[in-house]
Amino acid sequence: MSRSDAPTERDEGEESDDGSRSAAGGAGSAAPDPHADDAIVEVRDLRTYYDDDGFLGDDPVKAVDGVSFDIRRGETLGLVGESGCGKTTLGRTVLGLEEATGGEVVSEGRDVASLSGRELREWQRDAQMVFQDPEASLNDRMTVGEIVREPLDAHDWGTPGERRDRVFELLDLVGLIEEHYYRYPHQFSGGQRQRVGIARALALEPEFLVLDEPVSALDVSVQARVINLLEDLQDELGLTYLFIAHDLSVVRHIADRVAVMYLGDVVELGETEAVYADPAHPYTRSLLSAIPGSHTGTDRDRVTLRGTPPSPRDPPEGCRFATRCPAKIRPDEFAHLSGTAWERLDALHTVFRERTNAETGIAERLKRRLGLAVAADDIDEVVADLFGWHPGGGSTAEGLGPDEPLLSGEARAAVESAVNAARRGDDAEATAILTDAFGSVCDERRPEEHRVGDDGRTSACVRHDSGYESPGTVMARRYGRGDD
């Protein structure tokens, strides 16, 4: 794991600190590690929680909650997921910009979180970040030259003259010209500003870059040029990228492997083309099916996920995705229920969950403490809408709800008891009753990572256990034709 496989040194200034670099490389190779040939960064059971110490003692936000993966030297690892799933936090924690709550990020045999002094400086030099918004990440009062030079100054790189030459070289590298040295960020277009951000990140010749939505703020034609630039730079300098994006087409183009995140968890990770061609995890399937347009190369039926991810303060206990999962395992005793009935049950479940988590005023909290009924009418209406009967005994308004009651027997009894709890204002109890009655193994335990396929792909879904139908089969049956 010596640095000899690093890109060719390109200038005199580089040589000056070459000594310290190989020293660090030597320290790294001393620690035996099975992945050492391969991995530039190893993330192990990483957790990052944000605790706002609110006086009401809220749970912490579990932005990243137990994530493990490797980033291989020279690859581009794409990281995709909806906003709020923890992509950015994960990227920042990997770089040590956020403090990890648990787990570790290991690079060259060192735990990044525990670095200090010279080693920390080395890590900060070797790993850099490019931010999403080029408007916000460049200081408007500094010229582009100063912006790109700042990391060199901070790390006492070479002599002032060498730094200056290095900046010109960097500007040239990212396709800017000498005159731009003296200009201010506001004189640049979005694409050019992102180039400045990239030049700054490259100043200290890092090996590893975290790119946080680097092209999201750009128009498609400018975006294409920046993507080409990033790919050229990677080839020329042997860089490793962690490429965070919500644009799935961009990730498909640029990433060698892709990790799909949902609510703080990596649910699927594998070779990009294989994942896009045949996603294993139900979330990946749904996410990819939502890409608009015909150029996506996926001809699966669209599965539109309902609602939004649950709050990371209070993630589901079992599988994180269970509350929205289109392939969720359903208990045998209710196998006879129709797809519509399940859809409505899920909707009711979501209503209770959201009510439980709703920010309530002090007055309402007090009322609840005192056991006063809150909003009983509202819940009656929701039930009437969804299932066609009125828990309060009133008749359903015309045109509301389905023509026939969707539920009967045990199912209806369970819903009624949940609704009664909700009428008392105890939404948490209502949620629990529904989970009890209609939940399954998906709600009980967090699925382990399963190896799927023979290309090292992992997917964390209970359905990969033998004895269950695969997610693809189930989704195809429940939501149209599918491709299986």
Partner 1 sequence: MRPDGARERPDAATGGRERPDAGSARADGGDPLLAVEGLTTVFHTDKETIRAVDDVSFVVRAGETLGIVGESGSGKSVTARSVLGLIDTPGVIEAGSIRFRGEELTGGNWDAHRGDVSIVFQDPSNSLNPVYTVGNQIRETLRIHQGLRGRAAREEAVRLLEAVGIPDARRRISEYPHQFSGGMRQRAVIAVALACDPDLLVCDEPTTALDVTIQAQILELLGRLQREEDLAIVFITHDMGVIEETADRVNVMYAGEIVESAPVDALFESPQHPYTRGLLASIPGRTVSGDRLPTIGGEVPTPTTEPAECRFAERCPDAFDACERVHPEAVRVGPDHTAACLLHEEAYEHEDGPSRRSADGRGDPTDGADAATDGGGLG
Residue 143 contacts partner 1 per CB under 8 A: no
Pick between residue 125 and residue 195 the one whose CB is nearest to partner 1.
Answer: 195
d(CA 120, CA 130): 19
- Interface region with partner 1, contact rule CB under 8 A, candidates 98-106, 226-234, 404-412, 428-436: 226-234
Residue 189 contacts partner 1 per CB under 8 A: yes
Sole binder of partner 1 in the list 27, 115, 120, 222 (CB under 8 A): 222
**Min separation Cβ 335 and partner 1, Å:** 26
Sole binder of partner 1 in the list 227, 376, 428, 441 (CB under 8 A): 227
Sole binder of partner 1 in the list 155, 164, 246, 368 (CB under 8 A): 246
Q: What is the size of the binding site for partner 1 (CB under 8 A)?
A: 69
C-beta atoms surrounding 306 within 10 Å: 12
Give 284: exposed, middle or buried? Use CB within 10 Å, 0-12, 13-18, 19+. Answer: buried
The interaxial angle of helices 339-357 and 376-387, nearest 10 deg, is 160
- Positions in 66-125 near partner 1 (CB under 8 A): 82-83
Residue 291 contacts partner 1 per CB under 8 A: yes
Distances, alpha carbon 429 to alpha carbons 2, 186, 438, in Å: 58, 55, 14
Sole binder of partner 1 in the list 118, 302, 445, 451 (CB under 8 A): 302
- Interface region with partner 1, contact rule CB under 8 A, candidates 92-100, 158-166, 172-180, 315-323: 172-180
Give 294: exposed, middle or buried? Use CB within 10 Å, 0-12, 13-18, 19+. Answer: exposed
Residue 46 contacts partner 1 per CB under 8 A: no
**Min separation Cβ 418 and partner 1, Å:** 14
Residue 371 contacts partner 1 per CB under 8 A: no
Q: Please spell the DSSP secondary structure of 323-337, one letter per residue.
A: TT-TT----GGGTTS
d(CA 265, CA 15): 41
Q: Are 425 and 318 in contact (CB under 8 A)?
A: no
**Min separation Cβ 255 and partner 1, Å:** 8
240 by DSSP, 3-state: which?
strand
Q: If you ran DSSP here, which 8-state letter would residue 462 be given?
A: G
Compose the 257-286 pattern: x for residues touching partner 1 by CB under 8 A, - for all others: ---------------xx------------x
d(CA 385, CA 304): 21
Sole binder of partner 1 in the list 115, 120, 224, 376 (CB under 8 A): 224
The closest alpha carbon to 377, from 359, 366, 368, 390, belongs to: 390
**Min separation Cβ 469 and partner 1, Å:** 23
d(CA 209, CA 169): 19
- Interface region with partner 1, contact rule CB under 8 A, candidates 13-21, 53-61, 300-308, 407-415: 300-308
Q: Which sign does the torsion angle of CA 399, 403, 407, 409 carry?
A: positive
Residue 132 contacts partner 1 per CB under 8 A: no
190 by DSSP, 3-state: which?
helix
Residue 364 contacts partner 1 per CB under 8 A: no
Residue 220 contacts partner 1 per CB under 8 A: yes
Q: Are 313 and 59 in contact (CB under 8 A)?
A: yes
d(CA 324, CA 247): 21
Sole binder of partner 1 in the list 133, 146, 314, 385 (CB under 8 A): 385
Residue 295 contacts partner 1 per CB under 8 A: yes
Q: Which residues pair with 212 in a beta bridge?
A: 244
Q: Could you list the residues that contact partner 1 (CB under 8 A)?
A: 82-83, 172-177, 179-180, 189, 191-192, 195, 219-229, 231-233, 236, 246-250, 252-255, 272-273, 286-287, 290-297, 302, 304-308, 347, 350-351, 354-355, 358-359, 375, 377-378, 381-382, 385
